[in-house]
Structure 1
Amino acid sequence: MSHLPSAPSIPTAALPDGTVARAAGFVEATLGRGIEWIAALLIAAEILLLLAGVIARYFLHTPLIWVDEVASILFLWLATLGAVVALRRGEHMRMTALVAKVSPGTRAFLDTVGLAAALAFLLFIVYPAFEFATGEADVTTPALEISNAWRAAALPAGFGLMALMAAIRLLRVGDWKRVLGAVALVVLACLVFKAIGPAMKGLGNLNLLIFFVGVTAVTVLMGVPIAICFGLATFGFLTLTTSLPIDVMIGRMDEGMSHIILLAVPLFVFLGLLIEMTGMARAMVAFLASLLGHVRGGLSYVLLGAMYLVSGISGSKVADMAAVAPVLFPEMRKRGAKDGDLVALLATTGAQTETIPPSLVLITIGSVTGVSIAALFTGGMLPGLVLAATLCGVVWWRYRKEDLSHVTKATGSQIRSALLVALPAVLLPFVIRAAVVYGVATATEVSTLGIAYSIIAGVLFYRQMQWRRVVPMLIETAALTGAILFIIGTATAMAWALTQSGFSNTLAQAMSALGGRTAFLVVSIIAFIVLGSVLEGIPAIVLFGPLLFPIARQMGVHEVHYAMVVVLSMGIGLFAPPFGVGYYAACAVGRVDPSEGMKPIVGYILALLVGLAIVAAVPWISLCLL
């Protein structure tokens, strides 16, 4: 996958032999290894801590009230240090669709510009992050009664270390002209914006287009890391067009990166790696292949079904993808599936399953609009199946000529034998869902039960537990987690900035002026696809739900039906490139360059739009089970 740049793509032998480069290499290696080990230990601590909480509460009936608090403190440190690890390993997500088409020299320069832009943004926010952490010193945590600065200090520490790592990577580029040119370009852009800043304050909502469309689009297409693009646009908007202090932006990033439900992300990522390492993945794939392996596109159908079944278990769509992709992708690649098509299907199944309960977005709709959550959960089942059917149509078309001459249809005895071997692996999703349904564990904690279950199955049943791989797996999990959460943090800050601009009220007034039910639904679909590309589902619902659901009722649209249309629209926007954060998260989970999925995803997105149109046009699909 294409990530944060330059030095990772330079072979070691090509690095300069100068004193500065050698010193930079030594500092990077020493510092990087230390941070990787700390991040790995933090993940291990989170797993043990949450597992202890489940055991104490459910089996010993003595809840440890401080567990969630400690987990929250450690999680923010994990998020920021993981982002440092991702920067060192070159794993911050970026768009390279255009960059890949330019000459090698131009691409190398744009890679260096990405590093320089990252360094600039991190230097901009490191001191405000320090001020934010200092301000948290007077806040006392409820359970442990310690200063919240212990948690908030992760932000300036992480941002400072990222800035240091970015500077080191620049020193290791080796071409001083390229480095100076990239730094000069970034500095010049900052100076130009600062010079015209006073004039921009009078432009009103035009600044939204300048920063959140213009700056974001230009930097994304240049190959600057996605999180940095979001961060620079938000920082520039707040600094040049408002009088708000930047530490408020840091607070929003903190809110986005440290949401406790996101703790499921690293745990499910590690669970996915663990399933692969213990042999459970191979056993599960072998069983699924015995059922559908002889069908053209069979494992693609399995991916659709798996995402439908596990959706919502973890409370995070990223975690859902992380639980499924590592199990299926290796075998699908062996069967000739291309990386671009795999990540395109993974991303669109993420959008397709947004209404499948238990869904945090549906819970949020119920809480802010007064719609029955039970009705939303009931109404969400069939719309997801409709979109699954349209995606299956694309899968059938694309794989209709797949060569299966080397694949033999499994016999009944072979299927039974494969099931017996795969049974512990096949039972895992049911164990996880049962733990949630019966209150054994929360959506965040349930992944720890999955990890414990996988370790036991790996040791006792499959006997393929390779302990030497555990630490590298923990480090890999930390890097992926940091890359994803850094994007979520900057995207949350951007969503908050849009709220402060008054954009939400303007949109609501414009939509209320529409004359009819059909027009209202069409505009709602378009608006929420756009909103989904820049906002997380929950912030968007909190922002627009109380405004638009009363209008929908006035237009004669059933609130459950409208909820399904809104959620699916946001899901399509969230997982559609070039701006959908979910798409880049899918690329990160699948370890695929975002540019590879651009062409294959078009057909799947069109299929989702067809399914959404059917759901919007036929209210019965959302209401028949109520």
Structure 2
Amino acid sequence: MHAPATSALGTGRGPVAHLLACSDAVAAFLLAADLVVVIGSVLARSLFGAPVEWSDDVARGLMVGSSFFGAASAVARAENPGVTFFADRLGPAARRRLDALGAVLVAVISAIVSYNALRLGWLTAGQTTGSGLPLEWTFLPMGGGALLMTVFALDIALRRPRRDLAEAAGLLALAAGGFLGIAALAPESLPDPGWFMGIGFVVALVGGLPIGFSIALAALIYIWVDGNLPGVIFAQQMARGIDNFVLLAIPFFILVGYLMEANGMSVRLIELLQRLVGRMRGGLNVVMVLSMVLFSGISGSKMADVAAVGSVLIPAARRSRQDPGQAVALLAASAVMAETIPPCINLIILGFVANLSIGGLFMAGLIPSALMAAALIGVSVLFGTKAALAAEIVPDGSLRRMWIGAIVSLGLIAMIFIGFKSGFATATESSAFAVLYAIVVGAAVFGELSWRALARSFVHAATRSGLVLFIVAAAQALAFVLTLQQVPHALGDLMVGLSQSSGTWLFMLLSIAILIVMGSVLEGAAALIIFGPLLMPVAGQLGIDPLHFGVVLVIAMGIGLFAPPLGLGLYGACLIGHVPIERTVRPILGYLGLIFACLLLIAFVPVLSTGLPRLLGY
């Protein structure tokens, strides 16, 4: 799942390990400060009628800083996802050289991000935001986090064999020198900068460079080859990509997922489902689907859901002598099903980049997810067998204790929905109160959340959200470059022309195909950020409801994310279940075929997506 260009720092006590501890602490502290600002702002507005004007600016600035320090920690721990399918098939020597090249590229890209962010902070000194706060407070923490990222990347690169590093540096110097030479001697022979950008992106992605860095590299190549844009534009666009209050829901919902695991909510919910339906035909598979339904409605993070459910139910599948490859495949398919269950992070991201109502998308995704869940449960019951070892599936323990745990956990879901539907709080603010609920109520009821576990949850959430938001930031920079090249306009004209000659159904099928393919090679957020704004205006021209089309895009992206052989989500599920991907390919294709059939029904019966939002006034 992670790129070969990085390797874990280990547990040493050297200076870099101390820097990693500092990076963790800063990222977690900024996330905690963000939580205090958001909750304090809502309480001041709602209870005392005194809105805090500077709260949004401070919250966004804290999020940018936390994201980049968290992304730095992710680099240090080699958690950045990348496509390793092709690199894994190389021989040892070629793979070693490719790893060295990737390590050098990660360090170079990180250094460029840091330099331009710090320079942008210096250039904006004296300027203020709308509420009067210094503008450089956004860019300087971003530059500091990227600087730590550079240190971690250099440390990893220097662990490579010196000969491999020298070859990698020489290859990059040769490529840059060759371009500069041709540009000086025969500039008219050079192709459009977009070709260099596209080739660089594909080569980096196929070579296993982490996705966020592959996207950033593509944007940087265009800026460098074009020569008309200052480097600070790159940093400005990256900051703009995540400098939005809506996206703050991402780290908060990820944090809820980690807190639920730390305070015992996760295990109690799954145990109750095992007790209620574990003995029925195909019971363990039904439990898995229902668990993903519930967890996606709480944590919002797909991989957090997969980890929470898989860590409990995959071992149960092994104990009951079921095929663990089949169980991991169903877990992955259930994650696709749960892509449109609020408060899914990808729904939040699409609502942000496409300027759609987050609440409307949440409501639009409920019936489609219920349809897919029903299909998966039906197949599980129809083709499942009654558990031969029910004692290994159905846990012992107090049923009353399980019900109390489930009620407390479901209270979290109710609070999220009631919060933004009543108008008391936005989706982002509801996510902040969900964190507070998980800390206070979860700790008070179960008594399992220690201070150490709480701090660890904040660190994990900051790192994971930093990883996601770095990809979002890089994708915004690439989207900016694509806009300069008028790619959205050209794609819109092409799609409208095809639809006028062949019908709207062709546009819908092409959109599904694009998101499945791109979802398989890009992390889900990146695919939505790049292609959502490109396709959404075309759908509007063709009279397709934006909420309906948004749900279709998210499901299609989810299929790609978990589709073999490139789907990064499937690799993550296999790592969590400790199962080779080869054992999951056959069953996952069957499950994804079922999900795809449901997607076609959802795509061509719009009322499945639009009925509930219209009923509720969205």
TM-score, normalised by the number of residues in structure 2: 0.82
SS of equivalent residue, structure 2 residue 424: coil
| 1:124 match | 112
Q: Which amino acid in the other structure matches residue 545 of structure 1?
A: M
| 1:321 match | 302
- 1:28-59 per-residue CA deviation (whole Å, 9 max, x = no partner) reads 12322222222221122122222222332223
Q: CA deviation at 1:81?
A: 0.9
Give the unaligned 5+ runs of structure 2. 318-323
Q: CA deviation at 1:394?
A: 6.4
SS of equivalent residue, structure 2 residue 8: helix
Aligned equivalents of 2:249, 2:432: Cα separation in 1? 9
Cα distance, 1:383–1:473 mapped onto 2, change above 3 Å: closer
Cα distance, 1:298–1:90 mapped onto 2, change above 3 Å: same
- 1:328-362 per-residue CA deviation (whole Å, 9 max, x = no partner) reads 23212322355953773365235454899995578
- Residues 531, 573 of structure 1: 8 Å contact kept: yes
SS of equivalent residue, structure 1 residue 444: helix
- Residues 492, 535 of structure 2: 8 Å contact kept: yes
| 2:496 match | 512
Task: Tell me, yes or no, if structure 1 residue 289 matches structure 2 residue 274.
Answer: yes
- Residues 34, 62 of structure 2: 8 Å contact kept: yes
Task: Tell me, yes or no, if structure 1 residue 77 matches structure 2 residue 77.
Answer: no
| 2:17 match | 29
Q: CA deviation at 1:149?
A: 0.8
Aligned equivalents of 2:146, 2:354: Cα separation in 1? 36
Task: Tell me, yes or no, if structure 1 residue 263 matches structure 2 residue 236.
Answer: no
Q: Which amino acid in the other structure matches residue 165 of structure 2?
A: V
Task: Tell me, yes or no, if structure 1 residue 94 matches structure 2 residue 82.
Answer: yes
| 1:162 match | 149
| 1:479 match | 463
- 1:503-542 per-residue CA deviation (whole Å, 9 max, x = no partner) reads 2222222223231324344344445556777655466454
Q: CA deviation at 1:297?
A: 0.7
Cα distance, 1:54–1:354 mapped onto 2, change above 3 Å: closer
SS of equivalent residue, structure 1 residue 42: helix
| 2:320 match | none
- Residues 364, 541 of structure 1: 8 Å contact kept: no
Q: Which amino acid in the other structure matches residue 62 of structure 1?
A: A
| 1:436 match | 420
Task: Tell me, yes or no, if structure 1 residue 405 matches structure 2 residue 389.
Answer: yes
- Residues 572, 605 of structure 1: 8 Å contact kept: no
SS of equivalent residue, structure 1 residue 37: helix
- Residues 296, 400 of structure 1: 8 Å contact kept: no
Stretch deviating more after TM superposition (401-410 or 291-300)? 401-410
- Residues 215, 478 of structure 2: 8 Å contact kept: yes
Aligned equivalents of 1:281, 1:412: Cα separation in 2? 16
- Residues 242, 473 of structure 2: 8 Å contact kept: yes
Cα distance, 1:612–1:112 mapped onto 2, change above 3 Å: same
Aligned equivalents of 1:201, 1:388: Cα separation in 2? 57
- Residues 238, 477 of structure 2: 8 Å contact kept: yes
| 1:545 match | 536
| 1:186 match | 172
Give the unaligned 5+ runs of structure 1. 13-24, 554-558
Q: CA deviation at 1:120?
A: 1.9
- 1:243-300 per-residue CA deviation (whole Å, 9 max, x = no partner) reads 2333222222112233222222222222222211212222111112222323141232
Task: Tell me, yes or no, if structure 1 residue 333 matches structure 2 residue 314.
Answer: yes
Q: How do residues 394-473 of structure 1 correspond to structure 2 at under 5 angstroms?
A: 400=384, 404-407=388-391, 418-473=402-457
Aligned equivalents of 2:173, 2:211: Cα separation in 1? 19
- Residues 38, 432 of structure 2: 8 Å contact kept: yes
- Residues 265, 322 of structure 1: 8 Å contact kept: no
SS of equivalent residue, structure 1 residue 297: helix
- Residues 53, 64 of structure 1: 8 Å contact kept: yes
Q: Which amino acid in the other structure matches residue 480 of structure 1?
A: R
Aligned equivalents of 1:572, 1:346: Cα separation in 2? 14
Aligned equivalents of 1:601, 1:194: Cα separation in 2? 48
Task: Tell me, yes or no, if structure 1 residue 48 matches structure 2 residue 36.
Answer: yes
Q: How do residues 547-626 of structure 1 correspond to structure 2 at under 5 angstroms?
A: 547-550=538-541, 552-553=542-543, 559-560=544-545, 564-565=548-549, 567-569=551-553, 571-573=555-557, 576-577=560-561, 584=568, 596=581, 599=585, 602-619=589-606, 621-622=608-609
Aligned equivalents of 2:109, 2:345: Cα separation in 1? 38
Q: Which has the higher contact order (CA 8 A, sep 6+)?
A: 1
SS of equivalent residue, structure 1 residue 275: helix
Q: Which amino acid in the other structure matches residue 593 of structure 2?
A: L
Aligned equivalents of 2:189, 2:261: Cα separation in 1? 56
| 2:482 match | 498
Aligned equivalents of 1:244, 1:121: Cα separation in 2? 17
Q: CA deviation at 1:603?
A: 4.2
Task: Tell me, yes or no, if structure 1 residue 221 matches structure 2 residue 206.
Answer: yes
- Residues 37, 475 of structure 1: 8 Å contact kept: yes
Aligned equivalents of 1:159, 1:411: Cα separation in 2? 46
TM-score, normalised by the number of residues in structure 1: 0.81
Q: CA deviation at 1:596?
A: 4.3
Q: CA deviation at 1:473?
A: 2.6
SS of equivalent residue, structure 2 residue 125: helix
Count of residues in correspondence between the two structures: 591
Aligned equivalents of 1:409, 1:31: Cα separation in 2? 44
- Residues 574, 580 of structure 2: 8 Å contact kept: no
Identity %: 23
| 1:22 match | none
SS of equivalent residue, structure 2 residue 123: helix
| 2:321 match | none
| 1:15 match | none
| 1:20 match | none
- Residues 354, 533 of structure 2: 8 Å contact kept: no
Cα distance, 1:202–1:167 mapped onto 2, change above 3 Å: same
- 1:447-469 per-residue CA deviation (whole Å, 9 max, x = no partner) reads 23222222223433212122222
Stretch deviating more after TM superposition (491-500 or 611-620)? 611-620
